[in-house]
Structure 1
Amino acid sequence: MRVLVLGGTSEATALAALLAAMPGVEAIMSFAGRTRAPSAPIPLRSGGFGGAEGLWQYLEAEGIDVLVDATHPFAAQISRNAEIAAARGNIPLVILSRPGWTREPQDRWTEVPDMAGAAAAIGRETRRVFLAIGRLQLAAFEAAPQHYYLIRTIEPIAPNLPHHRIIAARGPFDTEAEERLLRDEKIDVIVAKNSGAAAVFAKILAARRLGLPVIMVERPAEASGVGVRAAHAAEALALILGHGPRAALRGV
Structure 2
Amino acid sequence: MPLVTAKRTGLVDQVITQIRELVSSGEWPLGEKIPPEAELVTALGVGRNTVREAVRALSHVGLLEVRQGDGTFVRATNEISGAVRKLCGPELRQVLEVRRALEVEGARLAAGARTDDDLRELEVCLADRNAAVQRLDRAEVVATDAEFHRRLVAASHNPVLISLYEGIREAVASSVATTFDPAIPPEQHVSHTELLAAVRDGEPRRAAEEAGAFLDELLAQMGSEGQSPKSV
Of Structure 1 and Structure 2, the greater helix share is in 2
Of Structure 1 and Structure 2, the greater strand share is in 1
Class of the TM-score when normalised by the shorter of the 2 chains: under 0.3
TM-score scaled to structure 1, two decimals? 0.26
TM-score scaled to structure 2, two decimals? 0.28
